Structure 1
Amino acid sequence: MNTALFLFRFSILIFFGFIVSACTNYSTTASVQAPPTLISITNNGNSNFTIKVRAQNPEFIFQGYRIYSGATENLAQNPTDLNMGDSCILAQAAIVQPLEYTFEIDPSTNPNTTGVSCRIFSTLTPGTYIAMRTLGLSVNLQNSTSSYKVSMSSNALIVP
C-alpha cells in the first residue's frame, strides 16, 4: 500500500515539475485594476479632510491608492504626470469584497484617527477637484524592475 501511495505522489510531482519547467509563456499584458469610487469629502478644518471611498481590488498586485487634484474635473482625472499624486500604500490588504475606505488628507504627520484606513500627507485647496486611482505592482521580468501601474481614474469631487 505504501508503494502505491509513493508511486502516485511521485507521478504527481513529476507531472507538476514538467508543467512548471515546460511553461515558458507568460502574459506581458498588465493586469487592469478597478478604479475606486469617491463617495464624499468632508472638511474637518485646519487643512484636514476626510474622504469616503468605495473600492474592490481582488488582485494580489494591489498596493494602494493615489490621489490627484486639479483646478478642473478634467485636470484631476487626467493629470499630465501620473506619478505626481500623493499615495496611500495598503500592500498588506488582500481584498476580495467591495469595501468602504475612509482616508484622511492632512499635511501634518499626525497618526491616523480611529477608523481611518490610511492618511495621505497632502494639502488640498477648497474649490479644486480631486480624483483617485488604484495602484498595482507592475514587474518587468526582462530587466527585473518593478513600478506602480495606475488604474483608470475615479469620479471627481470638488473640495469643500
Structure 2
Amino acid sequence: MNRNLFFWALTSVLLCLLVWNCTNYSTTASVQAPPTLISITNNGNSNFTIKVRAQNPEFIFQGYRLYQAATESLAQNPNDTNLGTDCLLAQAAIVQPIEYLFEVDPSTNPNTAGVSCRIFATLTPGSYISMRTLGLAVNLANSTSSYRVSLPSNTLIVP
C-alpha cells in the first residue's frame, strides 16, 4: 500500500471537512473500471507477456490484480478476491486510456523494455487468467485503508 497516497487522501478529506466545512461528500465507494485483456504470449522459461487496455483516471487508482484458475468462472469470480497477485502502478497519478504490457514471471529479473509492470507469479498453461483494477479505499472512522477491486475483466487461456 502506498502510504504517501493514503495520507494525502486522508489529509485532503479532513481539510475539506474541517477547514472548508464541506458537507457534500459521498460515503459510497468509487467503482473502478475493469481492464480488458487483449492477448497473452508465452515468452519461454515460465515468462508471459499480457497486453491490457485500461482507463482509470480516478486518483484512488492503484494498479491491477491478476487471478488464475482452472475455469473461466473461477478466474473471474474467485472465492477470495484478495488472493490474486498485484501489480501496483501508484506512481502514475492519472492513468489515461492506454495499452499496458505486463510481464508475468516468477523470477526477480528486471522488467523488459516497454513493460509497465512485472507480476511475480507462475502461470500454468491451459489455465484461465483474469484481472481486476485496484482502488484505494479509506475508512475515516478508524483511519485504515485497503484495496477495493473492480468487476472482473474478460478471461484468456494461458498458452
Bin for the TM-score computed over the shorter chain: 0.7 to 0.9
In terms of mean alpha carbon deviation, does 117-126 or 88-97 score higher? Answer: 88-97
The higher radius of gyration belongs to 1
1:143 aligns to what?
142
TM-score, normalisation: structure 2: 0.86
| CA offsets 1:47-86 (integer angstroms, 9 cap, x no match) | 1000000000100000000000000000000000011000
Counterpart amino acid of residue 127 in structure 2: T
1:112 aligns to what?
111
CA spacing shift, 1:127–1:18, aligned 2, 3 Å: closer
1:149 and 1:71 map into 2 onto residues whose CA distance is 24
After superposing on structure 2, the runs of 4+ consecutive aligned residues of structure 1 that deviate more than 2 Å are 17-26, 94-97
In structure 2, stretches of 5+ residues that fail to align are 1-15
In structure 1, stretches of 5+ residues that fail to align are 1-16
1:18 and 1:87 map into 2 onto residues whose CA distance is 32
1:5 aligns to what?
none
The answer to whether the Cα contact below 8 Å between 1:102 and 1:117 also exists between their aligned partners in 2 is: yes
TM-score, normalisation: structure 1: 0.86
| CA offsets 1:5-41 (integer angstroms, 9 cap, x no match) | xxxxxxxxxxxx9994432453110001000000000
After TM superposition, the structure 1 = structure 2 runs for residues 1-160 of structure 1, keeping only pairs within 5 Å, are: 20-160=19-159
CA RMSD of aligned residues (A): 1.7
| Count, aligned residues | 144
The answer to whether the Cα contact below 8 Å between 1:56 and 1:95 also exists between their aligned partners in 2 is: no
1:18 and 1:79 map into 2 onto residues whose CA distance is 37
